[in-house]
Structure 1
């Protein structure tokens, strides 16, 4: 398990770093953007239009995209086409593998220390 863990991180490490940075930015950037003007958005609604109660109606975003949309496309790999989406998906699966294998390796180390009666406890120095 340790060998797989180490070899896969060599390939997926850079992609996971990319995904985590773009994901973090997509959450933090909205804090610093100006809030949308609801009055201006309401003025764009055609006369006589009533939004159904079962729906959440919003005006179309302005052309040219937004920084949030761009970050989402970079985060998901959509900006790089089908290959980017495939790599992002495989990187997500790799993160699941790293989590499970990391816990597995920790439990094995903990069990070995417990069996040898070295230092009891979940953590050691």
Structure 2
């Protein structure tokens, strides 16, 4: 298991770093947009606009500026859709790799912990 863990991590490290960074940037952009829109005044409907009967009409959202205007772009890069089907496949495989590394890391730790417990070693939870 360690061999697979080591070799797959070399390949997927770059993609997982990419996904982590773009995910964080997407969240920052979304949060900055929420903060900006919370303080913005409602925009009045255009002159002469009448809401059709039975419809619930909402005023248009104010145009986002700054980092908030990049929210959609960060989402497309994060999901891999900016790079077509190959990008989406790599993004999906990176998600599976993250799941694999999480589960196999815990599994390897439990195996090492049991081996140390079997030998009667001290500091069974954490060791150097």
State the TM-score, normalizing by the size of structure 2: 0.79
Task: Write out per-residue CA displacement over residues 3-59 of structure 1, whole angstroms, 9 at most, x where no aligned residue.
Answer: 00000011111000000011111112334346233522x42594224328xxxx674
Superposition RMSD in Å? 2.6
Dislocated runs of 4+, deviation >6 Å: none
| Structure 1 unaligned spans of 5+ | none
8 Å contact 1:15–1:91 — kept in the other structure? yes
Q: Which of 73, 77, 88 lines up with 1:74 in the alignment?
A: 77
1:91 corresponding residue in structure 2: 94
Question: How many angstroms does 1:118 deviate by?
Answer: 1.1
8 Å contact 2:116–2:124 — kept in the other structure? no
8 Å contact 2:26–2:75 — kept in the other structure? yes
Matched pairs, number:
118
Q: Which of 56, 60, 66 lines up with 1:51 in the alignment?
A: 56
| Structure 2 unaligned spans of 5+ | none
Ranked by relative contact order (alpha carbons within 8 Å, sequence separation 6 or more), the top structure is 1
8 Å contact 1:114–1:120 — kept in the other structure? no
